Amino acid sequence: MPEPRAESGIRGKRGFVLLATAAGLVAMVGALGLSVDLGRLYIARNEAQSYADAAALAAALELDGTSAGIVRARDRALALPNRWHLGTASFTGTEVDFATSAAGPWLPAPSSAVNYRFVRVRAAATASLYFIPVVAGQTSSTVRALAVAAQVPKTNFNEGILPFSPMAHDAADPNFGFTPGQRYTLRWGANPKVGPNVCPGDNHDTWVTLAEAGNASERGYIEETSSAVIRMAIEQNYQSRPLAVGDTVVMTGGNKQTQRDSLINRINQDTDKYSATYAEYVANDTGNGRRLVVVPINTWYPEYRVLGFAAFFLLLPSEYPQGGNKSFCAEYVGPFVQGSRHKGAGGPGAYVVRLVQ
Amino acid sequence: MRRRGNAIIEFALSFGLLFSVFAGVFQFGYAFVVYNNLQTAVRAGARYASLRVYDSSTSTPSAAYLAAVRNVVIYGDPSGSGPRRVPGLTPEQVQVTIIMDRNVPRDVSVAIVGYTLDAAVRSFTLNGKPKATMPYMGRFAPDMGG
């Protein structure tokens, strides 16, 4: 009787290696499937997220409260060259929507673009599966990514502002009492009087008197007097110290000729140095945004407290003549967006494009 | 004796098979992990590059800009401190491309070139990928012409 038991045990051992190999093989193929298919899906998801983030940021930079801005934003998002499938395939079917707040509602083509400063990009990629179908029957899987970018308010600058600070006309008004399209003073001329030597928007007794209230060195440039720093500040947006809403600006005279030369250099950095107004600049659409600058707006004498930041448009080079009795003027545009070549889509103030989701 | 021989042959065959599959799992798994790390690194580099001051008037970035972006990709830090994120990645293997539009930077791309991904059983050389592109949003500080 023990012999038959032994025979039975041997038969069992004979099949064990085969069974163990088969089981191990199934487990290993499963692991290979996880490694290959899930690994590819994980990478595809990262690629899709990277694309969605970049596309949303690029689109948000283009929004300016106009329908043309919406079209530009969509085109920019779809033109981003980021790819998936280990960097070999372009994204298709990307959806771009716009909203006035992060909560939506989201519209692909809003009828009015005013205040539409949020962009949502939804990207998807469908990857074929090689090993998972063996066990799950699913032959492909779609990974999705979503990103929301927006022009968000910015109340302090460590760098990027032009070193002039116009006088607010109305501290309670979101536009600081300015009218978009009107020209205001970046730097006052010597002994300002109502007349042709004062910028049109400030050409009134109220503002000229207020300008005269400070001494001559307090009518213009903020912070620095060194010519080298003035040049860097105007031509490269260098700042010697951070500036935030509520801070006090330090008005200084600065070398007027240096400022004038640097302003002209700054204008010449733009690919459109011929448009006389911002409206013309937008219509021509050949500029690169270098003439669109951001400045702090202050309460003027005696506090010189920063109320906010605003976009101004630098005029034609011929509008900045030599001579100490001429003012430096610029056109008030409204909302400024850091890094954009257009004005912002929201209300007056300064904005920066950030991912919000 | 015959039974013992059978077991050895079966073991040899199954071990060879299992080892091959295991090696494949390891190879793909390791390659994907490294690729994913590279992808994360180039994305971080592109994001950093999109916000850093661009102090050149042309599409050729300054040495300082290039070094800082490469350091972010390799170490996750612009100053180049800390451990490498991906083994063996050198600065020359991080390609930084500035896309200018109307004389100002519009996009910045960061890609890996000439990096050999050693997956133990086989090597792959990555050229131009992974790659990440971001819109440029930083401060443009062009040369002032002396």
The tens digit of pLDDT for each residue in A96-145 reads: 999 999 998 999 999 999 999 999 999 999 988 887 777 777 888 899 99
**More confident of the two residues A14 and A36:** A36
Calculate mean pLDDT across residues B7-17.
78
How many angstroms away from the CA of A250 is the closest CA of chain B?
23
Is it the case that residue A200 has pLDDT exceeding 80?
yes
- Mean pLDDT throughout A198-204? 94
Highest mean pLDDT among A20-24, A228-232, B41-45: B41-45
pTM assigned to the model: 0.90
A263 and A280 Cβ atoms separated by less than 8 Å: no
pLDDT of A1 strictly over 50: no
pLDDT at res. A182: 97
Residue of B nearest to A81 (CA): B133
Chain A residues touching residue B14 (CB < 8 angstroms):
17-18, 20-21, 24
Of the given ranges (A175-179, B10-14, B64-68, B125-129), which has the lowest mean pLDDT? B10-14
Closest CA to A294 of A314, A279, A276: A314
Contact B25 A57 (CB under 8 A): no
The arithmetic mean of pLDDT across residues B55-67, rounded, is: 95
The stretch A267-272 carries a mean pLDDT of 96
CB B108 within 8 A of CB B52: no
Q: How far is CA A351 from CA A25, A165, A343, B48, B53, in A?
A: 58, 18, 10, 19, 18
What's the mean per-residue pLDDT of chain B?
A: 89
Q: Residue A6's pLDDT is what?
A: 47
Q: If 0-12 CB within 10 Å is exposed, 13-18 middle and 19+ buried, where does residue A305 land?
A: middle
- B83/chain A closest Cα distance in angstroms: 23
- Does the pLDDT value for residue B83 go beyond 70? yes
Among A25, A159, A352, select the one facing B18 at the smallest CB separation: A25
Range with the poorest average pLDDT among A59-68, A178-187, A324-333, A342-351: A324-333
Cβ–Cβ below 8 Å for B14 and A21:
yes
Q: In a 3-state reduction of DSSP, which class is residue A310? A: strand
Closest chain B residue by Cα to residue A25 = B18
User: What is the share, in percent, of chain A residues with pLDDT greater than 90?
Assistant: 63
Q: Kindly determine whether residue B141 and residue A269, on different chains, have CB atoms separated by under 8 Å.
A: no
Mutate to test the interface with A, among B6, B14, B34 (most CBs of A within 10 A): B14
Arithmetic mean of pLDDT, A189-197: 84
The pLDDT, as a whole number, for residue A219 is 79
User: For residue B144, is pLDDT > 90?
Assistant: no
Strands (E) in B39-103, as ranges, are 94-101
Taking the CA of residue B108 and the nearest CA in chain A, the distance in Å comes to 11
- What's B14-25 look like in SS3? HHHHHHHHHHHH
Q: Which residue of A has its CA nearest to B33?
A: A39
